[in-house]
Amino acid sequence: MDRTLAILKPDCTRRKLTGKAIDFILEKGFKIKAIRTLTLKKEEAEAFYAVHRGKPFFNDLTSYMTSGPIFAMVLEKQNCVEDFRKVIGHTDPKKAENGTLRKLYGINIQENFVHGSDSEENANKEIAFFFPLIEIIT
């Protein structure tokens, strides 16, 4: 089984849509192997999104990701990374396919409801950022 990291972002939690999002993810056949609610500190958000450092949106992104609680989750399923990317849709909710989480609930390209790892390599790194192995159900 493959794994990916999913984050329900501050706009999701602020609008009290975490239950709907989790139900949606489970209905698509993903298993939640670990889940944690937290509010990122600025330094943590900057470390997580370090790949975007220097880009024009970096400060807005890290400020947004520290603006409220998030739900970080380890998901498991065959072909997990690719399937979850399809389930969440395009980064810009206006361009996302109908029936995806971002099309259903995303506000704009920044407040786009959910994060999903973009590769298996990044999934492993991102999972390790939020979860020690002992916390992940095997």
- Domains of the chain in start order, with CATH, are 2-135 (3.30.70.141)
What CA–CA distances, in Å, run from 129 to 73, 95, 117?
Answer: 11, 29, 12
Catalytic residues: 115
Q: What is the largest CA-CA distance in the chain?
A: 40
pLDDT tens, residue by residue, 91-100: 999 999 999 9
Query: Which of the pair, 136 or 35, is modelled with greater confidence?
Result: 35
Sheet with strand 70-77: strands edge to edge: 31-38, 70-77, 2-8, 114-116
Q: Give the whole-number percent of the chain exceeding pLDDT 70.
A: 96
